[in-house]
A and B are shown apart, each in its own frame.
Chain A
């Protein structure tokens, strides 16, 4: 496994380079928005990876509550952190795109607000993990993760009551939706690469979390021996 890490770094960096080349150079310029539209490739891909991470976090948390295995707790912690990073990137890129296209950095529209609340919920999940003591962290965090995940559809319902400004879904969003073939190919490629990137981040963070767990239990064992 140790040998795999440097190779996976190289492969990921190479893939990211190719993605940028495709997105910034090869893909055709969008008709109305111009070059700003190229943010879309990164924006949507980050969003996708963020949501995927939160879903993994929910499943891992349920698994932890059920089986109490340290591995699923490590996975939950890893995916929440990576999810917060990718969702943060999603929000920032969205603002960069909105300024030239909408003329504003931010608006309290349904999808923007839902994403922001989602991001806030998982930041508070990380704060809870950071502040809870020793052996209780896992259970408290897993319980909170269930609350967070259950809250998301309710947040979306409540905020949809406001006017929606975000562009309609490009894929399967009705008659005028859909992408030009050149854009679609680049988009799909970016999506795959970002998913790999997210998976790789989670994997690294997961390994780190299991190392942390091993270290902590070694400390506990040493302390117990000292007492006896």
Chain B
């Protein structure tokens, strides 16, 4: 079996499990909803102010919600020693990693599609700049969070108090990506600046860290 077909098989299995249980997506959605409501109470912005701060609010909400999903990524593979079975099988480790990353990417994108209307309603958002740029930023930014997040979730699954560990190692590394997402979103929403530099930076971040993850995943999976 090729890498592609193993990736597809694992991804289909994960999506089917998620479709039947809806564990990840429900907890993410409710969590993000809570963050939106709490932020709204905490800042109580007018339409003009919210355009200035929305980039930060949206991405912080998505970042926290993403961590909720990432923590569940590998946990289900520990039951019944699925991960150990995978390690002794001849299947390429990167196929597993890619399948998990694609799965998380889809979950987070679905979450973002469901949450964006809520943000628009609660914060009276209207974009001054072109909306298609927001879509590019969202795709690149989500990948940046998810690719490192899936890798670090595989790291933190091996540690004590793993659920606390993941944000502790993921957030410092993600700071440049987060900065790029927030600033690009704000510059499109306010229409005051061009997000080009940030989009390029996100693209570079995505490429560099996808490569590093693929290079190191086998080592981490087989760590004894």
Contacts and interface: CB of A to CB of B under 8 A. Distances in A.
Nearest to A151: B173
Residue of B161, B168, B175 ringed by the most chain A CB atoms within 10 A:
B175
A117 B172 contact: yes
B204 interface: yes
Nearest to A131: B159
Contacts of B165: 127-128, 131
A159 interface: yes
Interface string B168-179: 110111011001
A143 B205 CA distance: 17
Nearest to B162: A131
B220 interface: yes
B160 interface: yes
Given A127-B169, A147-B212, A65 B204 contact: no
A59 interface: no
A144 B160 CA distance: 16
Contacts of A148: 172-173
A116 to B, nearest CB: 9
Interface residues of A, number: 28
Contact of A140 (B155, B161, B197, B212): B155
Interface residues of B, number: 30
A124 interface: yes
Nearest to B223: A139
Given A124-B168, A128-B155, A131-B159, A147 B148 contact: yes
Nearest to A129: B159
B158 A136 contact: yes
Contacts of A157: 176, 201
A136 B223 CA distance: 6
A150 interface: yes
B192 interface: no
A133 to B, nearest CB: 7
Nearest to A122: B172
A124 B219 CA distance: 20
24 contacts: A65-B219, A120-B172, A121-B172, A124-B168, A124-B169, A127-B165, A131-B161, A132-B159, A136-B224, A140-B155, A140-B223, A143-B216, A143-B220, A146-B216, A147-B212, A150-B209, A150-B212, A151-B173, A154-B176, A154-B204, A158-B179, A158-B180, A159-B176, A161-B183
Interface of A: 65, 117, 120-121, 123-124, 127-128, 131-133, 135-136, 139-140, 143-144, 146-148, 150-151, 154-155, 157-159, 161
